[in-house]
Structure 1
Amino acid sequence: MVLLYEYEIKIKVENLEKIRKKLQEMNANFLGVIEELDIYFQHPCRDFRRTDEALRVRIYNDKLELTYKGPKISDEIKAREEINIELRHEDLQKIVELL
């Protein structure tokens, strides 16, 4: 298990072509597209929206990842504790069956 903090900043882009040009100047390479499916869970005794938390399974590149996101730790930027655990398909299937 790895304990990390997620920092997220969203910036409105007025001129996408200007950004592309800057990336080319920096010799940035397009690595491709990754499709992700996110499944969010809610707990019957704990409202994650009210507590500003999230529990999610993300499916991508034939991998499963369980993520817990804690409440925001800052009002200025979107920063929160994040715990990610890679799951095997059969483990997730067993968990869902037991629920």
Structure 2
Amino acid sequence: MRTPLPAESQVDPSPLRPSRPMQPTEPSTPATGIEIEQKYRLENPAEIERLLGQIGARPQPHERHADTYYRHPARDFAQTREALRIRRVIVGDQGQTLVTYKGPLWAGAIKTRPELEWRIDPCDPDGANMAELLGHLGFVQTLTVAKTRRPFAFQHAGRSLHVTLDDAGPLGHFSEIETLARGSDEFAACHEAILAIAAMLGLSEAEPRSYLTMALIAAGAGSTDVSD
């Protein structure tokens, strides 16, 4: 029998409850490793989508995300620049749930950090068991950020990258360009690839704040930069 969590830690996954588990497809984000990404604010998402088609980026199915973030019971993620979330993804009538840990950021203009991510469905299709476990361990839910995402896959200079068009509701429209590095010797090439694609798309207004930070500010919960 599942013991209810305290109210502040409960998660309502019903808005994104799929009718069946998502089958394996081309991932919209890189696998576990060293994540390197840059986010840009968009004024004209349709134009960026047109340019993505021109440069040969391969569109992937639309996704709906509900990202629930957690506070650590013994350290301040805002200070350590870490993040822990449960992500619920819906594509059509299929869904998957993932747990993501993002480690501290390395210095630099482009976000570079270790990332661990794994699926917890089909055994825990809506993440309720994981949410309960985190609650028992003292983690407290911060908030849930909802967005729709149109991912694109792209190859540049022999490197696989992913570009997204994100509609984060009242927070605005954004594009994330990201890739995966296997070690620090690849950082420079990854940064160059991201900046090259941004130039192809005419993107210049980088948004350094995380979705979580922007959502906390919008909710009047402070302005401390929190990683996502």
For the aligned pair, the TM-score class normalised by the smaller chain equals 0.7 to 0.9
1:69 pairs with 102, 112, 119, which one?
A: 102
Matches within 5 A, 1:35-74: 35-61=64-90, 62-74=95-107
Cα distance, 1:18 vs. partner?
A: 5.5
| 3-state SS of 1:35 partner | strand
Cα distance, 1:5 vs. partner?
A: 1.0
**Amino acid in the other structure paired with 2:70:** F
For 1:69 and 1:51, the matched residues in 2 are separated by: 11
Cα distance, 1:32 vs. partner?
A: 3.5
Cα distance, 1:75 vs. partner?
A: 2.3
Instruction: Kindly report structure 1 stretches of 4+ aligned residues shifted beyond 6 Å.
Output: none
Tell whether 2:129 aligns with 1:94: yes
- Give the root-mean-square deviation of aligned CA atoms: 2.9
Report the equivalent of 2:114.
81
Cα distance, 1:65 vs. partner?
A: 0.5
Q: Paired residues, what number?
A: 98
Tell whether 2:58 aligns with 1:25: no
More moved, 31-40 vs 20-29: 20-29
For 1:93 and 1:65, the matched residues in 2 are separated by: 12
Please list every run of 5 or more consecutive structure 2 residues that lacks an aligned counterpart in the other structure: 1-30, 137-228
Q: Percent identity?
A: 32
For 1:59 and 1:6, the matched residues in 2 are separated by: 20
**Amino acid in the other structure paired with 2:129:** K
Please list every run of 5 or more consecutive structure 1 residues that lacks an aligned counterpart in the other structure: none
**Amino acid in the other structure paired with 2:128:** Q
Cα distance, 1:77 vs. partner?
A: 1.5
Cα distance, 1:4 vs. partner?
A: 0.6
More moved, 18-27 vs 55-64: 18-27
